Amino acid sequence: MKKNKKDLLSIYDLTPDLIWTLITNAIKLKKSKKSSSKLSGKTLGLIFEKPSTRTMVSFATAMTQEGGTPLILDSQKLQTNRGESIYDTSKVLSRYLDAIVIRAFKHEHVEEFANASSIPVINGLTDLEHPCQILADLMTIVEKYKIKSVKQLSKLKIAFVGDANNVANSWLAVSAVLGLNFLLLGSKKYPPTKEFLNKALDIAKKTNAKIIVSDDINNIINADVIYTDVWTSMGEESQSKARHKAFLPYQVNDELLKKANKNCIVLHCLPAVRGEEITASVMSKQENNIFDQAENRLHIQKSIIVYLLNK
């Protein structure tokens, strides 16, 4: 984080207290259901190098409901597409906008943008992390289990089943920072990067987080939350056949759920591929949880932009 502005590029930009405040404020905003003029006169830019439904629409709606203006920018139509540097683009957009959400292929490009910018930069998903998603996920778990503190949250067993991707990375990071009980269950062929995992494990030692990375399905026993995401993330389409083969044993289906706690909830960041990482049957039984989770993207985005822009 910089002296005069705050960014949200990674879960590691946040302290446990701040994560808890962002969640509890989002819950308050959800209950109040009121529009406000807190961000009146402010403009939030949104640049997407990859497709998005939830992140784009929830941030744009959050900004509108808080009295500000969202500006969705098609990355194909910006001069960066013709080779203008990230540095120059960041400097110029900082003169017009009050904050910016960026979804990019490369995490280091978002960091480069943030280093040059004088306005808050928010990671709307990169190859490395998806921090805003994980804040909405935590908010959903807090609501569903009526959690009152981080300590109480740490008593739940949360299992991410599938690919060790950007979403899984942010889960590893948040589990380390908050001291959670977290299982990353998936194929040995697609492990988390050593660097990212080691950072989480180092922090976990200080916070007493219990982080287990395993390919043994039996570890799902006693899970309170089962979370999954696509096996093939955006940009990896050429690997989809090999990934399908490797992850098939880790499909979230009725058999897997039988091994978890009776009242275990299933979450999915969406979009979902029914028949791959999750069956249509589990999707249909768990859709209240999953669509509540999607709705919570809106409330948490409000909480994030009000925090970043209103100080």
Judged by the rule CB under 6 A, the positions of this chain that interact with ligand NVA are 125, 165-167, 229-230, 233-234, 269
State which of residues 270, 283, 285, 295 lies at the interface with ligand CP (CB under 6 A): 270
Closer Cβ to ligand NVA, 132 or 142, answer by number: 132
AA letter at 192: P
Peptide bond into 70 cis (omega under 30): no
Partner whose footprint covers residue 301, from ligand CP, ligand NVA, none (CB < 5 to 8 Å by kind): none
Partner whose footprint covers residue 233, from ligand CP, ligand NVA, none (CB < 5 to 8 Å by kind): ligand NVA
Chain Cα centroid distance, residue 62: 16
AA letter at 134: I
φ, ψ of residue 74 to 5 degrees: the values are -80, 115
Partner whose footprint covers residue 53, from ligand NVA, ligand CP, none (CB < 5 to 8 Å by kind): ligand CP
Residues that contact ligand CP, how many (by CB under 6 A): 8
Q: Is 269 among the residues that bind ligand CP (CB under 6 A)?
A: yes
At its nearest, how many Å lie between ligand NVA and the CB of residue 26?
19
Closer Cβ to ligand NVA, 7 or 229, answer by number: 229
Which residues inside 38-97 make contact with ligand CP, applying CB under 6 A? 52-55
Partner whose footprint covers residue 166, from ligand CP, ligand NVA, none (CB < 5 to 8 Å by kind): ligand NVA
Under 8 Å CB-to-CB from 141, ≥6 apart: which residues?
Answer: 147, 153, 156, 158, 225, 265, 267
Sign of the alpha-carbon torsion through 41, 3, 206, 11: positive
At its nearest, how many Å lie between ligand NVA and the CB of residue 28?
26
Closer Cβ to ligand NVA, 18 or 273, answer by number: 273
DSSP 8-state symbol, 252: B
At its nearest, how many Å lie between ligand CP and the CB of residue 207?
26
- Provide the CB-side half-sphere exposure for 290 (13 A, CA): 19
At its nearest, how many Å lie between ligand NVA and the CB of residue 292?
17
AA letter at 89: T
The per-residue b/e assignment along 95-113, b for 16 or more CB within 10 angstroms, e otherwise, is: eebbbbbbbbeebebbbbb
Q: Which residues bind ligand CP (CB under 6 A)?
A: 52-55, 125, 133, 269-270
